[in-house]
Amino acid sequence: MEIWHTMIAPWLATAGYIALCVALFSFAIAFHEFGHFVAARALGLRVERFSIGFGPAIWKWRRGGIEYRISWIFLGGYVSIPDVDPEGTKMLEGEDAGKRVQIPAWKELVVAVAGPLMNILLAVALAFILAAVPQARFGEHGTEIAGFTPPSVLGPSPAEQAGMKPGDRVLAVGGNRVATWQEMLTEVQIADTRPTKFLVERDGAQIELEITPRREPVSGACMIGAVSMPNETGSAAWMPSRNPLRQLAWDAGTIFRVLKGLTSKREMKATGKALGGPVMIAEEIYNSVRRNFWDGIGFLRFLNVNLAVFNLLPIPVLDGGLILFALIALVFRRRVPEKVIGALSTCFMVLLMGLMALLMYRDVARSWRIHARARTLAVQEAQGEGAQDDQNTQGEGAAAQLPEDADGLGD
């Protein structure tokens, strides 16, 4: 029984959580592709394949002339529609794309919009479901400062050195208003290590402080060395309110803030450094589900809004690229040449896959550093406990640990 409780049961629990995370992520992708699938079938277009994932098939079956498959690489999915093929999936799978039959531009537009629309509809449904679940935890985590990290974490706290005091409430960072701790975290990451103006409220008066964040070497996050007040609701950052509209507004606001940073010459580099890829998304889903199942559903809601917005960007190889080409055909009564579309799609496919590989490498390297640090701290803590036992008899001892508050800026 001891082996079961100490080894087998925890392993099975972890495996179960991982399987649930894969299922949730795959569900979001499948719902997006189902939108393309339903629209294409309704318009009488030829559909060859519906796949969750890329690469070789784990399992596949054929029905009604359509191949359905689950593939090994769980980084997305696709519907193969030969006369539309908005994602260049034939080329991605190493197959001949063949000759494309030209269909009316409005049909291309409907098929392209249907995928992101399904993600939005799913996000709305999840927001209303969460609002009706009593066990779901909601609440905004404010920006009041409780204290500062010890020097062993980041060196002297930049916030404390700049004159910030416990009890201060941060109102704006770099001229951008913030109402929650997560919004402040986002602005600090975008500020990078530049001197940045912080507007704080202290005893009813507003004070402006200039703080220069520091980059924490293990996680790579920028920090000002401030610690938040306890999150009494226990809610996740993406669960600000039981009101479904406020949930969705938070999702959209967060995504558009990142897009704004990526299109700003001043903020582009820092925003790019803060971006995470599939590994970070998987970790966040995993941590959310382990913390609270409904937090995981809330993150799935946020992920669906993210997928919808990302796919609507006017980039060839994404749905937004097909929408752009279809609108050009409808407005100007002239199509973009197929060779141009093919060349742009191939080029952006390579760029996006390269970006994905880079983000995955950064995520894995960051996770490795964090886990290595955790193991080191565990060893140091064990040694410290041993030294504390010796202290009882020899009068000497030592201990080392990071603060337990997980809400320190930059976590």
Kindly list the catalytic residues. Answer: 33
Composition of the chain by helix, strand, coil, percent to 5: 55, 15, 30
3-state secondary structure 307-347: HHHHHCCCCCCCHHHHHHHHHHHHHHCCCCCHHHHHHHHHH
378, amino acid identity: A
Q: Are 112 and 319 in contact (CB under 8 A)?
A: yes
In 169-314, beta strands by DSSP E? 169-173, 176-177, 196-202, 205-211, 214-215, 222-223, 226-228
157, amino acid identity: S
Distance CA 295, CA 170 (A): 26
CB contact set of 223 (below 8 Å; sequence gap of 6+): 149, 154, 158, 188, 213, 214, 215, 216, 408, 409, 410
Distance CA 38, CA 173 (A): 45
Q: Are 55 and 78 in contact (CB under 8 A)?
A: no
Q: How many residues does the chain have?
A: 411
